[in-house]
Amino acid sequence: MSTRRPLLAVATLCVALLACAQSSAQVGTAPQPAASATTTAQATYRPEFGTMWTFDAPPIDYWRRTYNFAPDQRWLDKVRLASVRLPNCSASFVSSRGLVMTNHHCARACIESTSPSDSNYIETGFAAKAITEEKKCAGLYVDQLQSIENVTSRVRSAITGATPAEQAAQRAEVFNRLQTECSQQTRLTCQVVTLYHGGMYSLYRYRRFNDLRLVMAPEGEVAFFGGDPDNFTYPRYDLDVTLLRVYENDRPYAPQEYLRWSRNGAADGEVIFIVGNPGSTGRLNTVAQMEFLRDVSYPANLAGYHRFLDIYAELAKRDTSAARRYQNEIFGYENSLKAVTGYRTGLLDTAQMAMKREFEREFRARIAADPRLRAEYGGAWDAIAAAQRELATFNPQLRYQGFAGGSNLLTLAAQLVRVASESSKPDAERLTAYRGPALNSVRAAVTRNVPIDTAFERLALAAQLRAARSELPANDPFLRVALANGTPESVAAALVRGTRVGDSAFRASLLNGGAAAVAASNDPMIVLARQIDPINRTVAARAAALNAIIAANAEKIGQAMFAAYGTALPPDATFTLRISDGVVKGFPMNGTIAPYKTTFFGLYARSASFDNKPPFRIPPRWAERRTRLDLATPFNFVSTNDLIGGNSGSPLINRNAEVVGLAFDSNIEGVANRFVFTTDVARAVSVHSRGITEALRKVYDANSVADELEGR
């Protein structure tokens, strides 16, 4: 979770449930030489670090001890090859003819884009009546992990610089070299992955499949039944599934490996595995990093979400269509609100934090006991704590002396000003986001035609300025510039009224005019952006320097941990393929017990309890076909597997590598697992495999697809 919103915040919210992979986590930051990589004899598994295991270090002994299960390499290879990664989700091959199963919320763009002009498959659902009716999803691809190679020593040997900046450049270069070399040799998609914050580097090689077609998607109402209220909760009743098919040369692709369908699906108490790509966790973070998130960063994030939600509520009051128009944004912020509140709940949990503190105390004592380790790593924790403390002193400046978190017009103006000045520098001297091909992406984004809602802009800019005024000291340079001519409300109204930045042609003309045009512009929003730009650069540079210290020292700690524990502890999530063990199990909830599974009875029950009103409405086809269904069929279920955003669409498999379910969420208690993994009440939430086939047969008349899954 970044401490700042992206500069270009125009409608780039993450609206999916677990799809919010933070793929930035997969590229590492400035590495440092590690201590000896041999694991010590004491290295044993610690449950609070979770169970997101990599495929090159499966914990066979731990599985044998815990479940009396020790899969062989063939089992592991099969499962790895049957698993695929979508751009922001997980998926799997589930038939011999290339069927790919993922979540509905991972395939929304495909479902929308393949809809005919007069209807929307998100509303109506879609089931191809024949293979010829399957619809190509433009731009969608899946990656299949072919192999993993430990490249730690190659990365390390390339990093010889003395300063963090030199090291960062060398690291980027060796990553690039390794990736390019790999792609040229293998024609695969290659990526260097930073594990253990730099304790280990691995080269992941993927085969990419570019032709995916839509086979079946249920109605959005049943895929996301319960909407925002039920999001991140359980008991749950969501058919959050979409079936795609991989084609090659215009024919269904026959994968070398795929997952068979379990006849019974997940059973209470059964050991099962989630195979997918968790996006980002913070379990190796230090206590100081966690406290910063808990006390500084997350509270400010939450206030920001509330600020936006208040704006949408105000718009909806004035104009009843606004709630509908902004439903994606509203859902996005509600989703973030729930997620970040959940992350923070874990950090506020005294038992979880005590566990973390105790681990840190023990681990630091171990480092301190060895003179060599102490010299290399002993200072890392205090260095991070000092940097976090300093960051906390100017967090309001970092948040509010800028352009983001409110008006899109101001953000666009700021972007025009910065593109102009950065473009005039040599590539190597530019801010990272403006180097090389990235510059063209920024230029394209800034001139793209986007609708501007001036009512929203006025409210958002005023709210942004009000927040700045309440968080910053009165003599702050940003406030002096931004509020020189009035109140937040009057300034916002005048700027939105007076600017032409909303016009994409105007933006293009400024962009083409370069630094001179921008400097000469008397558009009031551009004028303001020019004044803010140096203030923002100063504070951002100050934060960047401190974050570099944190990153460098976090790497040291990661290296020390890897040196001490090796792969006995799984690395933090990196949106790469992991396998997590767990058990199907209910949990204590609301004074009683949440059952391990729900059924179709429950879907109709929850809908009836809300008088069939949205977001609890049953789609018409489901109302009509209710009596066909065996209502006691398992629908959703929970298990103790470890998962997080990015795992959406992961298959759940049994010991026979058969599909027993499809992960799509965690319960509200599970959201708190981001930093410390627990299984007392935290659960993964999945669609049951039997619910999928029952719906295919009885609701969607898709017997042929169900037969294909079941291998009939």
Smallest distance, a second copy to C-beta of residue 599, A: 4
User: Tokens at residue 22, please?
Assistant: 């933070």
Q: Following DSSP, what letter does each residue of 398-463 receive, concatenated?
A: HHHSSS-SS-HHHHHHHHHHHHHHHHTS-GGGS-GGGSTTHHHHHHHHHHS-----HHHHHHHHHH
- The span of 190-198, 299-307, 513-521, 584-592 binding a second copy (CB under 8 A) equals 584-592
β-strand 658-666 against 260-261: which pairing, if any? parallel
Interface residue with a second copy, options 473, 592, 614, 712 (CB under 8 A): 592
Q: Tell which positions 331-360 bind a second copy, by CB under 8 A.
A: 338
Interface residue with a second copy, options 45, 348, 601, 707 (CB under 8 A): 601
Nearest to 295 by CA among 361, 397, 360, 391: 391
Smallest distance, a second copy to C-beta of residue 601, A: 4
560 CB-side CA count, 13 A: 27
Cβ pair 454, 496 in contact under 8 A: yes
Is 60 or 631 the residue whose CB approaches a second copy more closely?
Answer: 631
What sign does the CA torsion over 656, 661, 663, 669 have? negative
Q: Is 622 in the site for a second copy (CB under 8 A)?
A: no
470 contacts: CB under 8 Å, gap ≥ 6: none
Smallest distance, a second copy to C-beta of residue 79, A: 29
- The span of 191-199, 271-279, 425-433, 599-607 binding a second copy (CB under 8 A) equals 599-607
Is 525 or 671 the residue whose CB approaches a second copy more closely?
Answer: 671
247 contacts: CB under 8 Å, gap ≥ 6: 98, 136, 211, 212, 213, 253
| Rounded Cα gap, residues 136 and 215, in angstroms | 9
Smallest distance, a second copy to C-beta of residue 336, A: 14
| Rounded Cα gap, residues 468 and 534, in angstroms | 17
The number of angstroms, rounded, from the C-alpha of 152 to the middle of its chain's C-alpha atoms is 26
Is 341 or 580 the residue whose CB approaches a second copy more closely?
Answer: 341
Is 242 or 636 the residue whose CB approaches a second copy more closely?
Answer: 636
Is 264 or 485 the residue whose CB approaches a second copy more closely?
Answer: 264
692 contacts: CB under 8 Å, gap ≥ 6: 239, 241, 662, 709
| Rounded Cα gap, residues 110 and 214, in angstroms | 7
Q: Following DSSP, what letter does each residue of 497-553 receive, concatenated?
A: HH--TT-HHHHHHHHHHHHHHHHH---HHHHHHHHHHHHHHHHHHHHHHHHHHHHHH
Q: Is 556 in the site for a second copy (CB under 8 A)?
A: no
- The span of 114-122, 435-443, 508-516, 585-593 binding a second copy (CB under 8 A) equals 585-593
The number of angstroms, rounded, from the C-alpha of 477 to the middle of its chain's C-alpha atoms is 35
Q: Which residue has the tokens 């495909």?
A: 110
Q: Is 269 in the site for a second copy (CB under 8 A)?
A: no
Which x/- pattern over 218-237 shows residues binding a second copy (rule: CB under 8 A)?
--------x--xx-xx-x--
Interface residue with a second copy, options 173, 268, 319, 503 (CB under 8 A): 268
Q: Is 623 in the site for a second copy (CB under 8 A)?
A: no
- The span of 133-141, 455-463, 591-599, 692-700 binding a second copy (CB under 8 A) equals 591-599
With contacts defined by CB under 8 A, how many residues of the chain interact with a second copy? Answer: 31
Q: Tell which positions 154-183 bind a second copy, by CB under 8 A.
A: none
Smallest distance, a second copy to C-beta of residue 517, A: 51
User: Tokens at residue 271, please?
Assistant: 């050991």
Which x/- pattern over 636-675 shows residues binding a second copy (rule: CB under 8 A)?
-------------------------------xx-------
Is 566 or 586 the residue whose CB approaches a second copy more closely?
Answer: 586
Contacting residues toward a second copy, per CB under 8 A: 226, 229-230, 232-233, 235, 268, 338, 589-593, 595-599, 601-602, 604-606, 608-611, 631-632, 667-668
